[in-house]
Amino acid sequence: MTTIQPLEALGYDPDMFKLSNPGDETEKFIYYTFDDTSPPALANDWNIIGLRRRFKETLLLDVSVMYVGDDELSLKEFSPEYAASFLDLSRIQVQALITWLERSISSSSPETAQSTQTKYFRPLQISELGDIRLDSWEIQHAGDNYYYYLPDENVQSAQKVSVICFPIWKSERGVQRTDLLRFATFDHHLLHSSEFRPFDADKWLGYMTFSEETLQEFILLLRKFAYAPFVE
């Protein structure tokens, strides 16, 4: 069974990825990856997830996603701020991510757990994808997997925009492919630039801040896409 573990538990030093962690000891990020990742001595690509708990009227959970290739990490000038803002996941890894996120919530609301409706996430229509500066090829291949994340202002400033792209599973000649879970949180004014691309920005944007309630809704959606049928 695939699980998610702290980098250190799998023999990795966060400094290997230049993941500095300034600030109060009680509010630092802990960085994780999947335990099916190769040992540190071997060439690899890494899905890295950061989690930080902090209090601001209520418990907030900062979640970051980062994909680092071995060829990128070997560069002298590598910096995590230029890493990709996604996780490249198999269906099994998504299921492990769901389990891990569920354990990050101290209490679960039965109403949210049983609901099929979301208050804080809104699906983006195909006609809206150009408004968030997606490229034409991304729009052409888009399904119902793009969502706005719209938390209350005590969770995230109204000047921020958050967009999620959930995985769509494809099978080619019976071979199951991986797909991307993509995060982007950015200042609203960036949408005025025709050069801006939320999922391919000059600097890493792969983070979101959740309350326990909004994280439960995210898990609900992630579970929906995790068990969706394969697309040929």
> What's the rounded Cα separation, in Å, for the pair 12 and 40?
6
Beta bridge partners of 66: 48
In a domain, 231, yes or no: no
Residue 232 placed within a domain? no
Question: For residue 116, is it within any domain?
Answer: yes
Q: How many domains does the chain have?
A: 1
SS3 state at 217: helix
Residues 178 and 89 sit within 8 Å (Cβ to Cβ): yes
Q: pLDDT tier at 1 (50, 70, 90 boundaries)?
A: confident
> For residue 91, is it within any domain?
yes
User: What number is the average pLDDT over the span 23-29?
Assistant: 68
Task: Kindly report whether the global pTM for this prediction surpasses the value 0.75.
Answer: yes
The sign one gets for the Cα dihedral 207, 211, 212, 214 is negative
Note the pLDDT tens digit of each residue in 144-164: 899 999 999 999 999 999 999
| Residue range 116-132, pLDDT digits in tens | 679 999 999 988 988 88
Q: What is the pLDDT of residues 74-129, one digit of tens each?
A: 777 788 888 899 999 998 999 999 999 999 886 555 554 555 679 999 999 988 98
Assess if residue 69 is contained within a domain: yes
| Domain limits for position 203 | 4-226
| 144 in any annotated domain | yes
